[in-house]
Amino acid sequence: MKKAKTVRERSSDDLRREVASIEQKIWELRFQEGSEKAGNPSRIRQQRREVARMLTILRERELGIERGQDQ
């Protein structure tokens, strides 16, 4: 799991590509879960949280909100 601080250091384009990649992995995990081949059932939840974290940071950038800065 990636921390928000390390995610904030990445570029917006890189984050968007990573979100698309993780969403594809989530779909694959769901299909594996349906065929009972998934090893770790909490993996989907972890991946969804990573996507949410990245989308939140992208939205903060759109709105001009600066967080995670040393004050």
Q: What are the structural domains of the chain? A: 4-63 (1.10.287)
Question: Is 69's pLDDT higher than 70?
Answer: no
| Phi and psi torsions of 68, nearest 5° | 75, 10
**Interatomic CA distance for residues 45 and 51, integer angstroms:** 10
CB atoms within 10 A of CB 29: 20
Task: Give the pLDDT confidence score for residue 34 in this predicted structure.
Answer: 74
**Interatomic CA distance for residues 13 and 52, integer angstroms:** 16
Task: Give the pLDDT confidence score for residue 41 in this predicted structure.
Answer: 75
Q: What is the pTM of this model?
A: 0.79
Task: Give the pLDDT confidence score for residue 18 in this predicted structure.
Answer: 96
Cα–Cα nearest to 29, from 46, 12, 17:
46
**Interatomic CA distance for residues 31 and 15, integer angstroms:** 25
Residue-wise pLDDT for 11-63, tens only, equals 999 999 999 999 999 998 888 877 776 567 788 899 999 999 999 999 999 99
Question: Is 71's pLDDT higher than 50?
Answer: no
